[in-house]
Amino acid sequence: MNEVLLRTLTPEVLAVLVRRGADFAAAEDAVQEALIEAVRSWPDDPPRDPKGWLVTVAWRRFLDIARADAARRRREDVVEEEPQPGPASGVDDTLQLYFLCAHPSLTPSSAVALTLRAVGGLTTRQIAGAYLVPEASMAQRISRAKRTVSGVRFDQPGDVATVLRVLYLVFNEGYSGDVDLAAEAVRLTRQLAAAIDHPEVAGLLALMLLHNARRAARTAPDGSLVPLAEQDRSRWDTTAIAEGVEILQAALARDRLGEFQAQAAIAALHADAPTAAETDWVQIVEWYDELARLTDNPIVRLNRAVAVGEADGPRAGLAALAGLDESLPRHTAVAAWLHERDGDPATAARLYADAARKSPNLAERDHLTRQAARLNTRLHPGEA
pLDDT band at 78, cuts 50/70/90?
very low
Q: Which residues 6+ apart lie within 8 Å of 324 measured at CB?
A: 298, 301, 302, 305, 331
**246-272 tens-digit pLDDT:** 999 999 999 999 999 999 999 999 999
- What's the pLDDT tens digit per position in 295-340? 989 999 999 999 999 999 999 999 999 989 999 999 999 999 999 9
Helix axes 281-295, 259-272, angle to 10 degrees: 170
The answer to which of 31-40, 117-126, 227-236, 324-333 has the lowest mean pLDDT is 117-126
pTM of the model: 0.82
Average pLDDT over every residue of 233-250: 97
Lowest mean pLDDT among 23-32, 121-130, 209-218: 121-130
Average pLDDT over residues 36-56: 91
Residue 99 has pLDDT above 90, yes or no: no
Q: Kindly tell me if the per-residue pLDDT of 1 is higher than 70.
A: no
Question: How large is the average pLDDT for residues 109-132?
Answer: 86
Closest listed residue to residue 293, CA positions, set 259, 330, 251, 321 = 259
Does the pLDDT at position 277 exceed 70? Answer: yes
Burial of 3 (0-12, 13-18, 19+ CB in 10 A): exposed
pLDDT reading at 384 higher than 80: no
Is the distance from CB of 220 to CB of 147 less than 8 angstroms? no
Binning the chain into helix, strand and coil, the percentages to the nearest 5 are 70, 0, 25
Tell me the domain boundaries of the chain.
1-88, 90-196, 329-384
pLDDT greater at residue 94 or residue 202: 202
